[in-house]
Chain A
């Protein structure tokens, strides 16, 4: 078993037009910038993959990462909880021009829909959003005298995630609060590609320290010293 991939180019090679792509990160922390930029480079060279649905907590910031994917016109739809950021111009312009669709999901419902998909649970009930416009059209059911909203699982074709250590078995650790959505996205996607700061030999991560077990991971690519979205935005960087 060897899930390591030799390059970012190979890591993003299998993503098709129209794919549903989960992208880890909360704001900039945990955002797999290098994987996204490799995907943009492929799109610019080949025109594919386009028409993507992107699932993330946000809708991009500045002119890198998800914002750059939106600028390039690769993204047809965003599923997120909070599309406004310090600089979410890329998303807002497309949204106001009617060129990108938005499915707004409460943050905990978003996380739980992703987790449910990973755990094979097609639907669940939550009090979140009951009585609000985000519950319109959804099934309501009472349990023990309290109304709940039915929510469906949220699956993806691919998850692009950022981790800290990885091994060839696909076991992963994360750095501080950069963990956020990555472990559940890894569970929910048909194919999960992780960029890691360092690849270690099997056993190089203590079994007790493994956060995402390798069963949820399909590909691991090394990106030593990954960039931080926040640093790029402070430098007003853009990709390409």
Chain B
């Protein structure tokens, strides 16, 4: 894997692309860390309501430093503010929203995604202290589960694979992957390429992907603004 990946999307650009698919009126859960960036790129004129597992619907931006209220935090335990129309609820109600199929979209990070839609994003193996949080609930609860990720690992290994080698978060749960190079759907146990960066050839993209990329329809250019 020696391809020059200087032509790839930044994390912010991947988050921007994922945000374009969030409809007006959607209830959305964003995973801790990188996926939280998606909230910054809500398209103009669309109103989404963001869910935080600890018990908030409708949280907003981080408060200015020094104005944090530590009873008002998100799932990543960072201070947030509330948007008008926000609501608080207890943890079982919060996960009833997740597990009862009430969330429209969950956007998560990944170590690996398999062509079957299996996701590995919670454990890198038996070393260290395991921690799972709400990921296993989200992947089986939200109506649509999408992943945002680099296309390959820091060592250049594919993150889109035939079968996950790492411990699974969920089986057959992911339906769309936004990567630093492409937008790939998962349909009927295979990867379907929808968009790719114009600068990368299909063959190069395929060589960076651990399973066959199918192209049953047109592949659009993945075009994202400078951010």
Query: Are chains A and B native binding partners rather than an unrelated pairing?
Result: yes
Name A's B-contacting residues (CB within 8 A).
26-30, 57, 81-86, 88, 91-92, 95-96, 102, 104-109, 111-112, 114-115, 126-134, 174-184, 211, 228-231
A27-B73, A84-B131, A180-B55 given; name 8 further pairs at CB < 8 Å.
Answer: A29-B70, A107-B95, A108-B136, A114-B92, A126-B99, A130-B170, A176-B71, A183-B92
Kindly identify which residue among A112, A174, A176 contacts B92, using a CB–CB cutoff of 8 Å.
A112
Shortest C-beta distance, B137 to chain A (Å), equals 3
B149 on the A face (CB < 8 A): no
A179, B73: Cβ atoms closer than 8 Å: no
What are 21 residue pairs bridging A and B, where the CB atoms are less than 8 Å apart in the complex?
A26-B73, A27-B54, A81-B133, A83-B130, A84-B129, A91-B129, A106-B132, A107-B133, A107-B134, A128-B99, A128-B137, A128-B141, A131-B168, A131-B170, A132-B168, A174-B88, A179-B89, A179-B90, A180-B91, A183-B90, A211-B90
**Bound-complex Cα distance A183 to B118 (A):** 34
**Bound-complex Cα distance A181 to B167 (A):** 28
Q: Which of A86, A91, A127 has the most CB of B within 10 A?
A: A127
**Bound-complex Cα distance A131 to B117 (A):** 13
Interface string of B51-84 (1 = CB under 8 A from A): 0111110000000000011111100010000000
Find chain B residues with CB under 8 A from A181 CB: 90-91
Kindly identify which residue among A86, A96, A107, A180 contacts B137, using a CB–CB cutoff of 8 Å.
A107
B94 on the A face (CB < 8 A): yes
B70, A230: Cβ atoms closer than 8 Å: yes
**Bound-complex Cα distance A95 to B73 (A):** 27
Find chain A residues with CB under 8 A from B52 CB: 177
Question: Please, which residue of chain A has its CB at the minimum distance from the CB of B89?
Answer: A179
Question: Please, which residue of chain A has its CB at the minimum distance from the CB of B90?
Answer: A183
B140 on the A face (CB < 8 A): yes
Q: Which residues of B in the span 114-131 have a Cβ within 8 Å of any Cβ on A? A: 118, 123, 129-131
Knowing A106-B136, A127-B140 are in contact, say whether A29-B95 is a contact too (CB < 8 A). no
A112, B132: Cβ atoms closer than 8 Å: no
Find chain A residues with CB under 8 A from B137 CB: 106-109, 128
Q: Which residues of B in the span 141-178 have a Cβ within 8 Å of any Cβ on A? A: 141, 167-171
Question: Please, which residue of chain A has its CB at the minimum distance from the CB of B137?
Answer: A108
**Bound-complex Cα distance A71 to B55 (A):** 29
**Bound-complex Cα distance A35 to B2 (A):** 58
